[in-house]
Every structure is written in C-alpha cells, then in structure tokens.
Chains A and B, each alone.
Chain A
Amino acid sequence: MFDAKIPAGALDEKWSDYKGHCKLVNPANKRKLEIIVIGTGLAGASAAASLGEMGYKVKAFCFQDSPRRAHSIAAQGGINAAKNYQNDGDSVFRLFYDTIKGGDYRSREANVHRLAEVSANIIDQCVAQGVPFAREYGGLLSNRSFGGTQVQRTFYAAGQTGQQLLIGAYQALERQVALGTVKMYSRHEMLEIVKIDGKARGIIARDLVTGKLERHFGHAVLLCSGGYGNVFYLSTNAMGSNVTAAWKAHKQGALFGNPCFTQIHPTCIPVSGDHQSKLTLMSESLRNDGRIWVPKEKGDNRKPSDIPEDQRDYYLERRYPAFGNLVPRDVASRAAKERCDEGYGVGSSKQAVYLDFASAIERYGRTEANKHGDDHASLEHIIALGKEVVKEKYGNLFDMYEKITGENPYEVPMRIYPAVHYTMGGLWVDYELQTSVPGLYALGEANFSDHGANRLGASALMQGLADGYFVIPYTIGNYLAEEIYSKAVGTDHPAFVEAEKTVSDRIHQLMNIKGKQSVESFHKRLGKIMWEKCGMARNSQGLTEAISEIQTLKKEFWSDLRIPGDINEMNPELDKANRVADFIELGELMCKDALLRNESCGGHFREEYQTPDGEALRDDANYMYVAAWEYKGDHNWDLHKEPLHYEVIKPTQRNYK
C-alpha cells in the first residue's frame, strides 16, 4: 500500500511537529520553482495566492471566463471554525470529533485533527482580507448552527458565504497576478498530466477560445478541480463542474479514493420535469428555523395550510429528538426518501416534503414585538414582524425559491427533496496532500481525505481554504526542497510531445465519430443509471446491472456521438464531450466501489445492510479502510486498502437520537 505518511506522535502534536521539521526552500530558490494550479475555487485560489506570496512561480488555470466564477461561489450557509466565540463548549477536539463522527468513521484522524486546528486561522485570514461576515450589534462575529453538531460554530455572510470567501481568495489571487508571481490562464482546460521519470512535470491544456493545445511545465502540479457530482447529470453543481483533471491524473497513476462516497443533500428544490438541467440547493442553514414534515395520511392532497397540526408528521423531530431537524445530511436525506417511498410525499410529483417556516416566523415575530414592548400585538402584526427577521436571515434563498418555483415561501411551505451535492471521494492523497504520483497534489473537494463517508455542513469551505492557505504552503516545501536541483524542463521534451499527441488524438477521435446522438443525451442517460442504481440507496443487483449498462453506454458513446463545429475554435459541445467521456468511466468505478463495500456508512447506503430501524449499518471488522483504486486499463482496476486506525476516537454506531 502507498504510505499515508502520517507523522508519529500524539494526535494533537502531529501537525506542529510536522511544521517544525519539514524541509524549507529558501527565497532565492522559490523564485526558480514553478507550480501549476488547476482550478481557482477556494482551494485553488487560496493555494495559488499563498504560494505566489511565498515567492514561487505559479501558473493558475480555470475553465471559466474568470477565476471568480469557480463553483465554490455557490456555497450558501457558512464555514465552520472552532473559535468557541459563543462560549458553548466548542473546541478543536469537538470539531474534530463531530467531523469524524459525521463522516461515519471513514476518515483519517490525523487529517481531520489538522483541519480542526487550522479552522480558526481561516476565519482570521478571511476577516483580514475584508470578507464581510455577519456581525452582531456589538461589532463581533456572528455564528449559527449547522447539522450534525450541538454548538454554534458556523460563520456566515447571509446565504452567500461561499461567494464572499471566494471573492476574498480571488482578490488575493489577482493581487499576485498584478505582482507577477501568478500567471492566470482563464478559459483553459487541463487535458493531460505530463510525467517525466515518474514525477508530475507539467500539463497539456486546451485554450477553450482558440481550441489550441498548450504545454506547460511545472516542478509540481496541484489539482484543485472540485468534485464530480455531475456524473449524476442532475446535481447542485455548476454546469461546468467536471472530473476531467482528476480523471486524467487517475489514469496517469494517481489512486482514486472511495469513489462511491457521494453526498445527497436533503434540502433542494425538487425536479420539475424532463427539461431540468440542474438542481438548486436551499441551504442547510434553513433547517435551523424550518421544520420538515409530511402529512400523516398517505396521499393527503389538501393544501399544506389546510392540514392541522395534529395531522402532520414532523418525522425528523419524531425519529431523532436530540438533533431534530439538524441531523446530518445523509440521515435527513434517507428519512425524506423513506417517507416519499412509503407514499407520504407531497406536491404533484409526490417526490417532495415540506420545509415550513410558519412557526419560526411567529416565534421571531413575538421576540420582535417584545423588544418593542408591544404586549398586545395582533397575530397579523407578529407575523409581519417575523417575516422581516426571516427575510434578513434567508432573504436571498427565499427569493431564489420563488423565482424557480413561482411560489412564495413566506406564505406556503417550501417543497424540498434530496439531490446530489458533494463528493467525499476523490483522488487519494497522503498527509501532505500528495497523490500517489510524486509532485502531483490534490486539494479541496478533489481529494478524498477529510470527510469520510459523509461531510458535515459548512465543512467544505473550511477544508478548501485549510488545504490552500494553511496546509499546502508547508507540505509542498517538503517536496520542492529536493527539486531545487532540477532545472525547468523544456516543453519540447518527448514526454510533452507524446502527451500532447495523446490529447490531440482523442479530440480527433471524438470529432470523427460523426454519429447521431448529442453529448447531452448521453450525459442524461448516464445520470439516470447513476441516480437510480448508485444514488441514495444501492443494492448488489442494481450495481451489477449499472456496471454493464455503463459499459454498453460507453461503447455507444464512442460510436454514435455527434459533435458539430470544429476543433480550432470555441466549441462548447467538444468541451462537454471531453468531460462526459470521463464521467462515463468514473461512473463505472463508482458502481464497482459501491458494490464491493458490503456495508452501509454515511452517504453510502446499501439496502442489504441496515439496522432494524433503517439506519446505516457499518461493518468495521471488514470495511474500516479507504478503498484506493489503481487504474489498470479499460474497465480494469486494482484495489488497494488503506486501513483506518482510530487511536483517539472509539467508533460507535452513530446516534442522533
């Protein structure tokens, strides 16, 4: 097995020990070392900016028209940090513990502890950059609760926390671009990793405007290219989010960790029809104030306002009294699916449950009335006051809901249903965030490392920024200190020539199929297989079928695809074809991984393995490992197992009751 390089010593001393002993690169040598960063979301932008500040020569790439568009921007609810500003018992250990437990004991203790340790620094850094976090009247930072925890440790900027954090990182990045330490390549897509003597030494990128292929050298390559939720076609990811960079790395020898671990987010706007191109999240923060329910009566078609209180089933509060509506995402999603499958779903599709703000509106309204000394306020007045409070907290989300559905959530409960949101799996990395290919790193959602089988809300932003601002600046030095002897390789090196030819051949092959079906239609079909057979609930028969269906789909794709237009021009259909081709291969691996993991844990729910009351049933004796897959050729992978050792936390059956 590849070495995870977890430092020896006590858990809470590992990271400081590592920092105290890792190799350093002196400033004069940093100027000679080149680093390539793929993707400019929270992980990529923060890494590129920080490495630029340190003096490295950085080249950053994104497929969007500007680094500010990366999908981190869409994160809504917040970012966790163990600041304990609320004096409610939070600590580094609790954040670490909640994250491990939330991940259903399938993540590495050392990585997660480091994440909790640096979480506080992230908030400080972002405040210094001018990120306008929500504040209390006293001028101090405000916090709110998120799922899977009992403390208030989430920092936020209304429902646009990701936007504000990304703009902070983007501005830091643009500052380095102005100073000349970072060169930015927008509308560029990475299509191959170039390896020389076993080490990552550069990339082949395609300029999406001209269609030209480019060769770029780097002493190290950082993949910060996000998650692969779009393998399901419908997800909350941006349309362009893709697995291509990570997949190329995988085919060049980087192991892929836990590919089947997918997060299905419980609160999304339901699908409205076949035309649907993407799904929209309604932030988990809404579960602070919204109560989730379905009618107690099957097929109750009354308007929600006509269903009296005693005929409503607040099923999360009923099943999980301790955490109520704030159970972790995997638990909330499965509970919604269970109710809908049993026939209690609402709305025209019956594939939805209510998220109701009526009682929060009334509660806030009463507080406001009290504040103003109005003891005899009418209910109408109280509700009007309450709506104002809710508007300040969640206004942008309510507006978004109304634009999409045409319904006013201040008046009628939202209808929500689970949707694919995040992928915990990703490129396998060691403690230093290095993949199994020397010199090739993976940061943020692109790696597998911190969230186990289920990510807690407000932890993705934390991880992306931790990796970019506070982890990679140290760990990359440990590798590059040895690279000061290697001169930059000219891009006329045979390895570059060959890599470019591989990319060019594949593009020509795609263009020359000249079949009848569009890329979009293949992507939709792949998504349908994945959602039905490798989605919220999986079983051995479905997964076996899915694998053969995907193999058939792949054959059809490569023999009947139609891409209009030319290679040497802006051609979005071709860009999409390149991505979908990789999604198809990934889909097969995900099903294979899900089939092999004969247990349920976190977001991975195998119907055969559940407790009598329908909770995920882990099998720690046989599956307490990271499944790290090595690519061996078409439809062919080898499995490596990295055993997980719990030295501090004792894994138990997760209990949110």
Chain B
Amino acid sequence: MEHYSMNLNLKVWRQKNNSEKGGFKMYRVENISSEMSFLEMFDVLNEQLVHGGEEPIAFDHDCREGICGTCSMYINGKPHGPWQANTTCQLHMRAFKDGDTIVVEPWRAGAFPVIKDLMVDRSAFDRIIQAGGYISVNTGNAVDGNAIPIAKDKADASFAAAMCIGCGACVAACKNSSAMLFLSAKVSHLALLPQGEPERKSRVLDMVAQMDKEGFGACTNTGACEATCPKEISLSNIARLNQEYLVASLTANK
C-alpha cells in the first residue's frame, strides 16, 4: 500500500450543549498520514486545539475496532463516511486526498438529541430494548445447550440480525429518522430462534409501541438504512418485522 500525507480542511459542527445553538467551524490539519484512522486524525486536531487553548471537539468513540457501536459521525453527508459496511472508527485516511474539505456533523434525528458537538443521546435505543428486546429467562433456569437443536440456517440468519451494533446510523441515514432497521434486527434475532417463541407476539407489539413513543419516524422503504449499516443488516428484517407485527396485532390476546 502506497503511503502519503495530506493537508485537509475540516468543517465541523460545534455545539456547547443541548440548549445552545450550534454551528459549523472550519479547522485545518496538516501532515495527516494515509495510514491514520479517521478518529486518529481527530485526535491530531484535538491535540492542536488543546495546545492552542481551545476546547477540543467532543465525539463519542470507544473500542475503535468497529464493534462497540459508540462512534457516530456524519461524514460528508453519510453516516460513518464514504466506505461501505464500515464504522467511523474503521474509516482510514487513505479514503481522502490532499486538499480535501471534509464536513463532519452529529447524527441528526429528533430522538437523538445532541449532547455536545458530535455527541448525541441514543438512550432511546435502550428503552426500545427494555420494552421487550429479550427472552425472559432468569439465571439458573436453563436446560442443556444442546437440548434445543437449531437448524444452522436459522441460527446463521439469527446471528446475521444479532450483529447489529446499535450505533444508530440507520436512523441518521433515514429521511424519516425511522428506527425500523434497528428494531427489526432485534425482533428477527429473537423471532428466528425457538427460545424466542413464547414472547414472540408481545415482544414485537411492545417494542414498536415504544419506538413510536420515542419519536422515531415511519418507514417508507427507501433503503438508506441498509445501504449505510456498518454491519450490513438486511432490509428483509423490516419485512419480517412487518409480518410479525401484523400477525401479532391480529392474533395476540391483549
């Protein structure tokens, strides 16, 4: 891989806190190596700001290996930036070239209020899980793991849905700020397994109700969520969710 260094202009959203108005600010970073990660480039910028006596840019990040789901930057009009099936922390600077101007914003959605700069509050996702995104089994109740055989294709499909990292890029990408991809991934993960069967109907009804309460928008099947998802969660999960919801609404004894 050919290495190079570059100078960049950054147009970054700054906002002191939830109640104050934010705005864009321009920054320049120099000598950025193509081997750096995008967040390491932000580290360089923040060090520069600290040394200049300015407040560094607040952004969420933790594992920096694409699995914890914390990082959440809207880069050049796309959640997690230009690469496919990728998180912000795994985006590397070889995606850019010398002289580029990069625009960085927080996730924008009514249900994800800005906390500071590029940080948003995604606790609505936790509350959706609280509404039913689990199997009610207390510790110590379990039977032997092999007592419940699960066909490999079912287990694989369930796992594919369970790979969701809860980052919220699907919501940020959606023109309606819908959380349907997130929710459908959890409903699918559990509905595809025999262990999820007993609560199958109440789960989908309760989780959808909570999603609506949180102020996420409706789904109009645009598919921007799927195209953006770092874990390539499939749109077919939303179809499954709709089916689960319909069956549950018609047959649940509630």
Q: Is the CB of B152 within 8 A of A175?
A: no
- Of the candidates A163, A406, A470, the one whose C-beta lies within 8 Å of that of B163 is A163
Q: Is the CB of A403 within 8 A of B159?
A: no
New A-B contacts (6) at CB < 8 Å, excluding given A273-B33, A572-B56: A65-B122, A74-B68, A239-B61, A273-B36, A518-B50, A518-B51
Q: Is the CB of B1 within 8 A of A405?
A: yes
> Which of A46, A70, A570 has the most C-beta atoms of chain B within 10 angstroms of its own C-beta?
A570
Q: Give the nearest-CB partner of B119 in chain A.
A: A570
**What are 25 A-B residue pairs whose CB atoms fall within 8 Å in the complex?**
A65-B60, A70-B68, A73-B63, A73-B67, A83-B146, A125-B137, A125-B142, A126-B145, A127-B145, A128-B137, A128-B142, A135-B150, A137-B152, A138-B149, A167-B162, A171-B135, A174-B126, A175-B130, A186-B123, A240-B62, A272-B35, A277-B64, A470-B139, A470-B140, A572-B56
Q: Is the CB of A85 within 8 A of B146?
A: yes
Render A552-574 as a binary contact track against B, CB cut-off 8 A, 1 for contact: 00000000001011000110110
Q: Is the CB of B115 within 8 A of A239?
A: no
With contact pairs A135-B150, A174-B133 given, residues A520 and B122 touching in the complex (Cβ less than 8 Å): no
Is B215 positioned at the interface, with any CB of A under 8 Å from its CB? no
Chain B residues with CB below 8 A from A516, complex form: 51
Chain B residues with CB below 8 A from A172, complex form: 134, 137, 139
Chain A residues with CB below 8 A from B155, complex form: 132-135, 139
Determine how close the nearest CB of chain A comes to the CB of B44; give it in whole angstroms. Answer: 7
Chain A residues with CB below 8 A from B43, complex form: 275, 277, 520
Which of B86-94, B98-106, B238-246 is the contact stretch?
A: B86-94
Q: Give the nearest-CB partner of A236 in chain B.
A: B65
Determine how close the nearest CB of chain B comes to the CB of A15; give it in whole angstroms. Answer: 15
Is B79 positioned at the interface, with any CB of A under 8 Å from its CB? no
Render B107-137 as a binary contact track against A, CB cut-off 8 A, 1 for contact: 0000000011001011101100111011111
State the CA gap A405–B92 with chains docked (Å): 9
Is A648 positioned at the interface, with any CB of B under 8 Å from its CB? no
Q: Is the CB of B140 within 8 A of A125?
A: yes
Q: Is the CB of A473 within 8 A of B159?
A: no
Q: Chain A residues in contact with chain B, CB under 8 A?
A: 46, 49-50, 53, 64-71, 73-74, 83, 85, 121, 123-130, 132-141, 157-158, 160, 162-164, 167, 170-172, 174-175, 177-178, 184, 186, 209, 238-240, 272-273, 275-278, 280-281, 399-400, 403-407, 469-470, 473, 516, 518, 520-521, 562, 564-565, 569-570, 572-573
State the CA gap A49–B17 with chains docked (Å): 33
Chain B residues with CB below 8 A from A164, complex form: 159, 162
Chain B residues with CB below 8 A from A125, complex form: 137, 139-140, 142
Determine how close the nearest CB of chain B comes to the CB of A646; give it in whole angstroms. Answer: 31
Chain A residues with CB below 8 A from B162, complex form: 132, 157, 164, 167
Closest 7 CB pairs of A and B: A139-B149, A171-B134, A406-B1, A128-B142, A124-B142, A132-B159, A178-B130
SS of B interface (majority): loop
Q: Is the CB of A66 within 8 A of B149?
A: no
Render B46-64 as a binary contact track against A, CB cut-off 8 A, 1 for contact: 1101110111101011111
Q: Chain B residues in contact with chain A, CB under 8 A?
A: 1, 16-17, 33, 35-37, 39-40, 43-44, 46-47, 49-51, 53-56, 58, 60-70, 83, 85-86, 90-92, 94, 115-116, 119, 121-123, 125-126, 129-131, 133-146, 148-152, 155-156, 158-159, 162-163, 165-166, 189-190, 193, 195-196
- Of the candidates A240, A520, A569, the one whose C-beta lies within 8 Å of that of B47 is A520
- Of the candidates B53, B54, B134, B144, the one whose C-beta lies within 8 Å of that of A129 is B134
- Of the candidates B54, B122, B130, B134, the one whose C-beta lies within 8 Å of that of A564 is B54
Determine how close the nearest CB of chain B comes to the CB of A18; give it in whole angstroms. Answer: 16
Determine how close the nearest CB of chain A comes to the CB of B171; give it in whole angstroms. Answer: 14
Q: Is the CB of A406 within 8 A of B166?
A: no
Q: Give the nearest-CB partner of A72 in chain B.
A: B68
Q: Give the nearest-CB partner of B91 in chain A.
A: A403
State the CA gap A133–B72 with chains docked (Å): 28
- Of the candidates B121, B145, B149, B163, the one whose C-beta lies within 8 Å of that of A160 is B163
Q: Give the nearest-CB partner of A570 in chain B.
A: B116
Q: Is the CB of A139 within 8 A of B151?
A: yes
Chain A residues with CB below 8 A from B54, complex form: 564
